[in-house]
Amino acid sequence: MSRNPSTILKASPTAAIDPTASGCPTPREETEQILLGHGSGGMMSADLMRRVFLPAFDNEVLAAMEDQATVAFPSGRRLAFTTDSYVVRPIFFPGGDIGRLAVNGTVNDLAVGGARPLYLSAAFILEEGLAIADLKRVVRSMREACDESGVAMVTGDTKVVDRGKGDRIFITTSGVGVVPAGRSLSIRNARPGDRILVSGTMGDHGIAILSVREGIEFETVLESDTAPLNGLADVLLEACPDVRCLRDPTRGGLSSALNELAKGSGVGVELEESAIPVRPEVRAACELFGLDPMYVANEGKLIAVVPRETAGRALAAMRSHPLGRDSAVVGEVVSSHRGLVVMTSPFGGQRMVAMIAGEHLPRIC
């Protein structure tokens, strides 16, 4: 999404080089596949911007076509800023696609910090030969995700790599938001006695991706849980301003997020396995492939650590939101076995739940 006006003006309107023969960029209108010229910063880049990105993310800041986005912020607030890259395979999967994942993932990274997400940027790495129709589908999904979470896509960039040198499309999104005065959420805030809540079933996203790759069919449709969490976080924080910490258990799943919490706060974490919500089809797929739902990725769930006294109110607030109707209290923070997560099985046995080592499922987000 190169937006340098001077580059556009320097491109010759009379150029007539065949890009497929020479590999050089040329002003070729209405191609149906990504060509190297779409990443040239010239007329084809401008054409891609006009055809795909501007209609999807239309707003005054982006339409200004500057090399940077200049945006307004409410005064007196703190800035939250995050960035992440998305390389999921396949790019379309039940419940979403790489575009929706990219927007929601960045929105959620801001939301679990207590911030109100405002603006996003997106950098696209496109492989030569990608169908324009697929790019439009991804961008349309991103626009819908922006609308759902109330953020604006205000700047971006596009590069094209040679055929065979990428995997159709990679997206990097960055986001900024504002944190209200007096709010401070952190993995260092947990205290013994705090309750640990999750907003719904664990492992849906990772198993949805695995099902497509392996051709697994379930009796019911299993979809990725990718979703923007800022609305759910707002409801929770309004009901319980004393929330200690929010996390979204993405790569590494619930296990890794809670291990980070235990180490960050210097506390122990105890979980009740029977209290952790897991869909039957996710549990069955995990048993089939030798996976543990504790380590499977989620893209639309959050973990909340709240004081014992307000745990009931927090649970009720989360269940009042559509994305939190399956919320549950799954454990508590303890002063023993500091830095470790221990889980009690339905039969009373205990096991340590360590942080994931290596990749459980590659290319899932």
What is the pLDDT, as a whole number, of residue 6? Answer: 36
Q: Quick check: 14 pLDDT over 80?
A: no
Q: Quick check: 24 pLDDT over 90?
A: no
Grade residue 200 by pLDDT with cuts at 50, 70 and 90: very high
Determine contact, residues 158/2, Cβ cutoff 8 Å: yes
What is the pLDDT, as a whole number, of residue 42? Answer: 84
- pLDDT greater at residue 288 or residue 307: 307
Instruction: Work out the percent of the chain whose per-residue pLDDT is above 90.
Output: 76
- CB neighbours of residue 80 within 10 Å: 19
Distance (Å, rounded) from C-alpha 303 to C-alpha 326? 12
Residue 304 pairs with which residues in a beta bridge?
197, 246
Q: Quick check: 12 pLDDT over 80?
A: no
The tens digit of pLDDT for each residue in 37-70 reads: 998 888 899 889 999 999 999 999 998 888 888 8
What is the pLDDT, as a whole number, of residue 359? Answer: 74
What is the pLDDT, as a whole number, of residue 4? Answer: 41
Determine contact, residues 126/249, Cβ cutoff 8 Å: no
The tens digit of pLDDT for each residue in 95-147 reads: 999 999 999 999 999 999 999 999 999 999 999 999 999 999 999 999 999 99
Instruction: Output b/e per residue, 120-148; b: 16+ Cβ within 10 A.
Output: bbbbbbbbbebebebbeebbbbbbebbeb
Concatenating the DSSP letter of every residue in 36-96 gives GGGGSSSHHHHHHIIIIIHHHS--HHHHT--SS------TT-EEEEEEEEE--SSSEETTE
Which helix (H) or strand (E) element contains residue 123? strand 116-127
**Distance of CA 254 to CAs 146, 196, 231, 301, 347, Å?**
26, 11, 21, 10, 21
The tens digit of pLDDT for each residue in 69-97 reads: 888 877 778 999 999 999 999 999 999 99
Mean pLDDT of 217-226: 85
Amino acid (one-letter) located at 260 = E
Kindly state the tokens that stand for 193.
Answer: 């006695």
- The residues, any chain, with a CB within 8 Å of residue 72's CB and separated by 6 or more, are none
Distance (Å, rounded) from C-alpha 135 to C-alpha 140? 8
Tokens 């697994």 belong to residue: 216
205 CB-side CA count, 13 A: 34
Determine contact, residues 305/331, Cβ cutoff 8 Å: no
Mean pLDDT of 295-304: 96
Q: Classify residue 274 by its DSSP letter.
A: G
For the entire predicted model, the pTM comes to 0.89
- The residues, any chain, with a CB within 8 Å of residue 33's CB and separated by 6 or more, are 128, 129, 130, 131, 132
What is the pLDDT, as a whole number, of residue 165? Answer: 94
Mean pLDDT of 303-322: 98
Determine contact, residues 175/151, Cβ cutoff 8 Å: yes
What is the pLDDT, as a whole number, of residue 187? Answer: 94
Grade residue 314 by pLDDT with cuts at 50, 70 and 90: very high
Mean pLDDT of 329-345: 97
What is the pLDDT, as a whole number, of residue 237? Answer: 98
What is the pLDDT, as a whole number, of residue 68? Answer: 87
Grade residue 28 by pLDDT with cuts at 50, 70 and 90: low
Grade residue 349 by pLDDT with cuts at 50, 70 and 90: very high
Grade residue 302 by pLDDT with cuts at 50, 70 and 90: very high
- The residues, any chain, with a CB within 8 Å of residue 147's CB and separated by 6 or more, are none
Mean pLDDT of 182-195: 95
Average pLDDT for the chain: 90
The tens digit of pLDDT for each residue in 148-167 reads: 999 999 999 999 999 999 99
Grade residue 7 by pLDDT with cuts at 50, 70 and 90: very low
Distance (Å, rounded) from C-alpha 34 to C-alpha 17? 16
